[in-house]
Structure 1
Amino acid sequence: MKLSSQLMDQVNVEQLSPMMRQYVEMKRAHQDQLLFYRLGDFYEMFFDDAVLVSRELELTLTGRDCGLPERAPMCGVPYHSVDTYIARLIKKGYKVAICEQLENPALAKGMVKRDIIRVVTPGTLIESDILDEGSNNFICSICCGENGCGLSFCDISTGEMNVTQLEGKDQGMVINELGKFRPNEIIYNAAFMDRQEVIAFIREKLCCTADQWDEEYFEENAAQLAVLQQFGVRSLLELGLEDMPLAVESLGGLIAYLRETQRTGMERIQTVKLYNEAQYMRLDLTARKNLELTETMRSREKRGSLLWVLDKTRTSMGKRLMKATIEQPLISAAIINRRLNAVEELTGDGVLMDNIVDQLTGIYDMERLMTKIVYGSASPRDLTSLGCALQRIPPLRQLLEEVRCGELQDIYSRLDPLTDVAQLIAQAISDDPPIALKDGDVVRKGYDQQLDEVRYLADHTKEVIASIEAKERERTGIKSLKVGYNKVFGYYIEVTRTNLDQVPAEYIRKQTLANCERYITQELKDLEARVLGAQQQILELESRIFEEVRNAVSAQLSRIQSTAAAIARLDVLTSFAVVSVRGDYVRPVVDVSDEIVIEDGRHPVVEELLAGTPFVPNDVNLNNRENQIAIITGPNMAGKSTYMRQVALITLMAQIGCFVPARSAHIGVVDAIFTRVGASDDLSTGQSTFMVEMNEVAQILKCATSKSLLILDEIGRGTSTFDGMSIARAVIEYIADKKKLGAKTLFATHYHELTVLESIIPCVKNYNIAVKKRGEEIIFLRRILPGGVDDSYGIEVSKLAGIPQWVINRAFQVLEGLENGTGVEAAKIRTRGKARTEEQQQMAFVDENAELLKRRLREADVDAMSPRDALNLLYELKKLV
């Protein structure tokens, strides 16, 4: 987006004033960004930028003399509230270049030196008051090649850097990664433009800023050099990136972009985390959405999501890690049990758990505070906040001295007390400093002797003058001697004419009046210079001391970052423990078996939303043998979808290392959870409900393995009855086949004819939602029972939804006619358990002989058959008929 227009292009630089000439030169170097130009206590915008910003932020558009016949359009914002205005522009998709004064205007000779200190983009915000404390603010770099993509995700507000390489050309894999991290800004290389499906997802779903970055920065050698320099290593082998060229090129391109926009603070990014899909449970975008892991489907709010239930963290670092933990379940049983051991120890020691919660409360966002300190934008209060957080670490560490499990012991070892840093801040910075350094009283009294002396002089000028006056009276013997001050001569010594003979020789006469003479001394001149310059000197000294302290703290970045990460881990585990105790959760048995056995399982979110109303628990028994597929039938609203999501969430909770809402649970680790729950038209791509559903099913069957868990709800309902039923059965048969898939599956359906598969396919079991019927009234019992049902109670459910009684009555009349075979379409519908005609029996989907007959006819090669082969086939077909 180029902001420069004819208004800027027509400016004759030679006619401009020196200040405006400086502005235009900088603006022309940053034409795709809004230029915030510092003038005194304001950031000003001129020409096209002023017109645009005044419109976007509803600011008054004024003008300024600039050397041209017409005044330059101008608008501005106060420097102390600039973050708010920048945030509003960033949300609208703009980028902002900040031009700062590099010297004190009062001391500058000629034009004040200015330069761009930073370019703010949606993915490079570091201001904690703008960002969501519970979410990362990622910028993503994508580098595509012939056979894969490299992706890098960085949150510069916390220093977190993640990188991976995806093999193949499956655009869905890239979409899933983008959906997981949800970056606010994306840069990419030229080859990425071929991924139209991903581009559509970015434009329509992520709605984030996306720009092509210079190809030279993605070039192999340039990218490798940037990576090696950034992380201070001699080879890619040290980072584990030696065989991942696209990942390296993606990372190098991102580092180059951050250097270009941030100018300073790149030392904040010290480590890179290499990850791949083999480390975590695969959760595609559809599964994250359907399971409502971090936000609800309808309102996109946290309340009503799994994150809402589990997040009882006390720190901002913990909140971000909790979200990442839920979105990245583990698949290593050993690591999962290591977490579970920690949660078990905390739940078993209520005093320890409560004390940790108390100590975590009040620990500020150390990660983002350190970013501001490293960037040099931290305020005095930011340092004080960090100091307060650091003071809580030693007692927190002391609480963990006697822990037994490996995970908590590891956290204990990584908690650096940081007493030296805390003491430095406590000794140097006031307890309640102002927000701005220029407001003074930032440095604590007693920290710097020179500063204390200047402060005393500024605060006790009268006392100092009085002491000089008393000393001079005693030295000269002139009792009427006075020390005074005026704006013309400054400080002076006044002596009456009767005492002029006692004036010392070193006095310098300055003014003669009718009754007295006024003198000055070298001491008074020195005092005057010190008094009049005291406030400026105080600010300069405080600024120097504050910068020294800030740099000293910044030098401890690695120690503080490591400690902040340990605090986040402890916060998440403690949150798991708190939720487990309050919700009466149980530790699951997690291993590498193929079992998912849950006794009296409960839906964690629904149970929380019920707020005291008893939740009806249910069991589940799945494995890759005789209980591989559970076909669940029952009416709408009875709880089929809740039950299936419940099983998925309990499995996921177990694999993030949390206790689960059940009486007991045995979870064999699954490598992925796939869901097909509900469907709707995708108007952006012109796809119907049925097409969306089939796309999702196709993706599941393509990507799932025998170790996956599938949640399939109402497959085939978007088309005609027989087509839908045929597709549903074919899907079940495909999943049941160990050679094709063999995944554990919960399959909800209204096609009650599918329940016959229990007698045909050994690994299929039927279940139904218990319903009690009284006349035309039904009561949902919410219990899952073995066996199938032959009624969907659709009309009864419609009545519950408020359909008018006339419609309900008429529906029952039509239904009765259809069931009796007297309706117009009677021959095309199922008979709800009653006898079928011969024709219907031949068309029945569950007629194995008919299906075999069709297949044999399709496979028969008539042209290649001998007369005997043709005769044998005819006998075989006749037998089947």
Structure 2
Amino acid sequence: MAQYTPMMQQYLKIKADQKDAFLFFRLGDFYELFFDDALKASQELEITLTSRDGGGSERIPMCGVPYHSAENYIKQLIEKGYKVAICEQVEDPKATKGVVKREVVQLITPGTVMEGSMLDEKENNYLASLSAFDDGSYTVSYNDLTTGENSVALISGGFDAAMSELYSRPVKEVVVASDFNEEHKQMLSERLGYTVSHQDETEIVPEFHKLVEDVHQDKLLTGFGRLLNYIQHTQKRSLDHLQPVKIIELKQFMTLDMYSKRNLELLETLRKKGKSGSLLSVVDKTTTSMGARMLKKWMERPLLSADAISTRHEQVEGFLDQFFERETLRDELSNVYDLERLAGRVAFGNVNARDLIQLRNSLGRVPNILATLAQFTHPKIEKLYEKIDPLSDLKTLLDESIADDPPITVKEGGLIQDGFNGKLDDYRYASKNGKQWIAELEQKERTQTGIKSLKIGYNRVFGYYIEVTKANLRHLPEGRYERKQTLTNAERFITPELKEKETMILEAQEKSIELEYELFLEVREKVKTYVKRLQHLAEQISQIDVLQGFAQVAEAYQYVRPEYTDERIVNIKQGRHPVVEKVMKEGTFVPNDIYMDESTDVLLITGPNMSGKSTYMRQLALTAILGQMGCFVPCESASLPIFDQIFTRIGAADDLVSGHSTFMVEMLEANHALSHATENSMILLDEIGRGTSTYDGMALAQAIVEFIHEEIKAKTLFSTHYHELTTLDEQLNHLKNVHVRAEEYEGNVVFLHQIKEGPADESYGIHVAKLAHLPDVLIDRASELLDQLENAQPDKKVKELEESEQQLSLFVEEAKPKPVNEKRSSEIEKRLHSLDLMEMTPMDAMNELYQLQKRLKS
């Protein structure tokens, strides 16, 4: 350390505490980065790498960014998952001898971003913590620093369940203990793409006890304590806007695991990241950013309470019934800024005067919103009206205090309204009239001296002065003018009168700006006292925005209100896929009924590729999700049970990160469904077993269907190409065959996309290949081979069966007990007699007898 200059020693000491972050070290008008930070930042930000002498034997790598444009560079690093420590000068360089004192004033991480330019206005920015316990349970805690929202959930289903819970929200960063499982940390980082940070301290300090008054479980307190300590450590400022912790009672919401959310494309599509093509893209008719965020929350957690679902549906009906009032409401809502994040910025202390103008304008819309809501006649809309606090006292404060067109910065004046503070008005009067007096003095001096070119000017070094050209110096009266500066062609003077006014004007300007800043801070502190009320207003406006958006969707796309019963009956008339019908030409989507009475648990769906099997399956799941989140649904009518969980296995994709093939992913997702589903769940399985050999795949598919039918009894849609499985309806009483109708016409297949009862008569695989324009010679050869295989198949099966029976007979004869050891013989004989070989497959029977044979020979 001693080899470096005092400033570089200061840098190295601060950097030692910020090892996992880029240290933006303030030097004058720049943030500088040194050593490895500089090398890496110059690559990531594509900025010039230089060097400087730091007192050591070698020059130090260095790069920097201007402080006034640093936000854009910080944003780039945060978006790549890095952290940035902001190190500022915390004392006046002019009043300091030696090295200026510097401190890290904020650690910006992907989960603690507050700056608006770094945020998606329609998406929460969650920081999460994950805490593991010895009994295999986890707590997941969430915080959105921009809104102050806090919540925590207890997870009992192991690490996979915890990952699914995290996947349900837009999490940017996860905080764990330093001794957290390394393999699990890697999965969080590489598989889910989170920045992983560490925090061991979990004790909640007294000043934040009010946030956890309703939390009484030690595990939940530990989980949230870890999160809160990390926030305190990184932010180093007021956290007054943090809201009390909400306990997420997972049993109140439909469970959607990470596989189902991905496969159903709720928030984004599989092929390309982004909203377009997702369910969200269809139903998002919100007009505010905070409403858009609430819509996502509702989609991520559909309700299980019939009463809560009914309340939302009635509110949607209320908005749907009055078109003109709803349009007026939408216009008013569209002019409301993000109250939730504005409240967060106020509490955080980084709000400026323009932010407060946005807040004032938004509050100015609330009376109109209330007046419009009062025109709706539905009683459920009246309930929404009653919950709104217009905050008229805050609106009055902002009207009286903040100037209508303030600057972005808060230290250059122009922030405060005239009339708000008497002393400020006096300063402004002195400054304004002083300048007028200067203009009048200039004219007076010209008249008295007869020097028409005489002028009064100002600069920062000399202040105000009277300037006279050298040719006119002889006209100046004796004694009154005091020389101040000599120029090449002129002299500058000051008079006692001008000096007096100069002091008054400059003092008025300086003190006016200082006082304005103090007054602005006072106003900002007063606004802080309204944060809780602002957050409540934001929640009510968001809810209204989502519900009116649902009404807009229902009217635009002819959605209907679903009915819910305690019977296990699915009865959808003319159901449609909400996304697919939007991308097709109007009127071309073929709707279908879905009917599963109490005696039908499994629909076995057959039909060719491209015929619409997956669409049919997905539309049932999306209809259930839409209904239970409070939206109307795309069909003519719908009667449904309330589903507690939805599990899907649709589509094929390798999981390259964890080294899993398509077939392994398929089996893992199937296993997850079979392990967690109940009779009140919905299971969608598409083409299970296709990733292995035909007989392996068919055996697995049948075993899975049988297991669901006999053990789980969940409402299940199971699509398959294995036509052999269609005979299962003869053995399984609660299974029903349906197929997607297709017709062959002049050698071509025509997909009708209609679901009909009974199994499909063929797969039309070669016809689909023909539609894909494979070469004619290839299509002809495939047809020829298909004929040969179909004709040869019966003989092959007979031969296999005969060989199996012969082999089985040999094993049975050879495995008969011999009088070698009486005890051993008796044991094997009992085991042999206990086997029901005729009920076993030939392979299982042979394996069992082989094991007995080994036992006998031993």
Q: TM-score, normalised by structure 2?
A: 0.86
Q: Could you tell me how far apart the structure 2 residues matched to 1:678 and 1:319 are?
A: 28
Determine the structure 2 residue equivalent to 1:805.
776
Unaligned runs of 5+ in 1: 1-10, 830-836, 845-852
- Matched position secondary structure for 1:119: strand
**1:395 lines up with 2:368 in the alignment:** yes
1:356 aligns with 2:329: yes
Selected match of 1:720 from 685, 693, 698: 693
Aligned residue in 1 for 2:722: 751
Aligned to 2:808: none
Aligned mate of 2:272, from 299, 323, 336 = 299
Match of 1:781 among 741, 752, 772: 752
Deviations 1:826-861 (A, max 9, x none): 6457xxxxxxx69779999xxxxxxxx9xxx9xxx9
560, 570, 576: which one aligns with 1:596: 570
Structure 1 residues 69 and 201 mapped into 2: Cα distance closer, same or farther (>3 Å)? Answer: closer
Q: Deviations over 1:177-197 (max 9, x none)?
A: 121124211111255317x3x
Structure 1 residues 828, 119: closer, same or farther in 2, change over 3 A? farther
Matches within 5 A, 1:543-562: 543-562=517-536
Contact 1:143 1:149 in 2 (8 A): yes
SS at match of 1:232: helix
1:583 aligns with 2:557: yes
CA pair 126-277 structure 1, distance change in 2 beyond 3 A: same
Instruction: Measure, in 2, the Cα distance between the counterparts of 1:263 and 1:870.
Output: 76
Name the amino acid aligned to 1:688: S
| Residues 1:659 and 1:273: Cα distance change in structure 2 (over 3 Å) | same
CA distance in 2, matches of 1:781, 1:306: 25
In the TM superposition, residue 114 of structure 1 has moved relative to its aligned partner by 3.4
Displacement of 1:751? 1.6
> What is the alpha-carbon distance in structure 2 between the residues aligned to residue 572 and residue 230 of structure 1?
32
- Deviation, 1:534, is 4.3
CA contact (8 A) 1:187 1:212 kept: yes
**Letter of the 1:266 counterpart:** L
Checking the alignment, whether the CA contact within 8 Å between 1:144 and 1:246 is kept in structure 2 is no
2:425 pairs with 1:437: no
Aligned amino acid, residue 436 of structure 1: T
* Whole-angstrom distance in 1 between the partners of 2:81 and 2:829: 74
Q: 2:625 aligns with which of 652, 656, 660?
A: 652
The residue aligned with 2:247 is 274
Aligned equivalent of 1:4 = none
In structure 1, how many angstroms separate the alpha carbons of the residues matched to 2:36 and 2:726? Answer: 69
Structure 1 stretch displaced more, 660-669 or 690-699: 690-699
Q: Is the 8 A contact 1:150 1:248 kept in 2?
A: no
Per mean C-alpha deviation after superposition, the further-off stretch among 783-792 and 532-541 is 532-541
Amino acid at match of 2:742: V
- Separation of aligned partners in 2, 1:331 and 1:68: 67
1:375-413, Cα deviation, whole Å (9 max, x unpaired):
222222222222222211121122222545565344323
Secondary structure of the structure 2 residue equivalent to 1:600? strand
Match of 1:230 among 192, 198, 208: 208
Aligned equivalents of 1:418 and 1:207: distance in 2? 41
Code of the residue aligned with 1:795 in structure 2: it is: I
Query: Cα distance, 1:499 vs. partner?
Result: 12
| Deviation, structure 1 residue 493 | 13
1:12 to 2, 10, 20: 2
1:161/1:874 Cα in 2 relative to 1: closer, same or farther (>3 Å)? closer
CA contact 2:287–2:330 (8 Å) conserved in 1: yes
C-alpha separation between the residues in 2 aligned to 1:179 and 1:286? 9
Q: Which of 395, 401, 425 lines up with 1:428 in the alignment?
A: 401
Quick one: structure 1 residues 30 and 751, their matched pair in 2 at CA, closer, same or farther if it must change by over 3 Å?
closer
Q: What is the SS of the residue equivalent to 2:132?
A: strand
What corresponds to 2:191 in structure 1? 205
Distance 1:512 1:337, change over 3 A: closer
Match of 2:543 in 1: 569
Which residue of structure 2 lines up, in the alignment, with residue 8 of structure 1?
none
Alignment RMSD (CA, Å): 3.7
What residue in structure 2 maps to residue 174 of structure 1?
162
Aligned residue number for residue 308 of structure 1: 281
Give yes or no for contact 1:336–1:590 (8 Å, CA) kept in 2.
no
Partner residue of 1:157? Answer: 146
- Distance in 1 (CA, whole Å) between partners of 2:353 and 2:322 is 39
The 2-side partners of 1:468 and 1:749 are apart by 97
Partners of 1:639 and 1:512 lie apart in 2 by 90
Does residue 372 of structure 1 match 2:334?
no
Q: What pairs with 1:734-745 in structure 2 (closer than 5 Å)? A: 734-737=707-710, 740-745=711-716
Q: d(CA) in 1 for partners of 2:696 and 2:494? A: 111
User: Within 2, Cα distance between the matches of 1:778 and 1:497?
Assistant: 109
User: Cα distance, 1:650 vs. partner?
Assistant: 0.5
Partner residue in 1 for 2:175: 187
User: Structure 1 residues 733 and 118 mapped into 2: Cα distance closer, same or farther (>3 Å)?
Assistant: same
Q: Distance in 1 between matches of 2:410 and 2:288?
A: 27
Render the CA deviation track for 1:470-525: whole Å, top value 9, x for unaligned. Answer: 99999xx999999967876956899x999999x9xxx9988999xx998854x654
Query: Residue 741 and residue 498 in structure 1: after superposition, are their counterparts in 2 closer, same or farther (change >3 A)?
Result: closer
Change (3 A) 1:535 1:489: closer
Cα 1:352–1:876 shift into 2, 3 Å: closer
The alignment status of 1:684 with 2:657, answered yes or no, reads: yes
1:36-55 map, 5 Å: 36-55=24-43
Counterpart CA distance in 2 for 1:368 and 1:533 is 38
Task: Report the alpha carbon displacement of residue 456 of structure 1 after superposing the two structures with TM.
Answer: 4.2
The residue matched to 1:765 in structure 2 has which SS? strand
After superposition, give the CA deviation of every residue in 1:340-384 in whole Å (9 maximum; x if it has no partner). 001111111111211111111121112222222222222222222
Q: CA deviation at 1:102?
A: 3.4
User: What is the rounded CA distance, in whole Å, between the counterparts of 1:511 and 1:296 in structure 2?
Assistant: 74
Aligned pair in 2 of structure 1 residues 843, 726: CA closer, same or farther (>3 Å)? farther
TM-score by length of 1: 0.84
Q: 1:16 to 1:111 in 2, by over 3 A?
A: closer
> Unaligned regions of 5+ residues in structure 2, if any?
806-811, 817-823, 841-858
Contact 2:617 2:684 in 1 (8 A): yes
What is the distance in 1 between the residues matched to 2:586 and 2:725?
37
- Deviation for aligned residue 1:441: 2.3
User: For residue 45 of structure 2, what is the aligned residue in structure 1?
Assistant: 57
Distance 1:415 1:111, change over 3 A: farther
Quick one: structure 1 residues 394 and 617, their matched pair in 2 at CA, closer, same or farther if it must change by over 3 Å?
A: same
Query: Once the two structures are superposed, what CA deviation does each residue of 1:699-750 show, in whole Å capped at 9, x if it has no partner?
Result: 111100000011111122222222222222222222222xx21111111111
Equivalent residue letter for 2:198: Q
Q: 1:876 offset after TM fit, Å?
A: 11
Taking the aligned partners of 1:784 and 1:268, their CA distance within structure 2 comes to 54
1:654 and 1:667 in contact (8 A); partners too: no
Task: Give the share of equivalent positions with the same residue, in percent.
Answer: 40
- In structure 2, relative to structure 1, the CA distance for the partners of 1:616 and 1:492 (3 Å cut) is closer
| AA in 2 matched with 1:748 | S
| 2:855 equivalent in structure 1 | none
Q: Which position in structure 1 is the counterpart of 2:635?
A: 662
Partner deviation per Cα, 1:305-328 (whole Å, 9 max, x = no partner): 000001111111111111111111
| 1:799 CA drift (Å) | 0.6
Q: Is the 8 A contact 1:603 1:661 kept in 2?
A: yes
In the superposition, relative to structure 1, how do residues 230 and 842 fare at CA in structure 2: closer, same or farther (>3 Å)? farther
After alignment, is 643-652 or 453-462 more displaced? 453-462
How many residues get paired?
Answer: 812
Asked whether 1:790 is paired with 2:776, we answer no
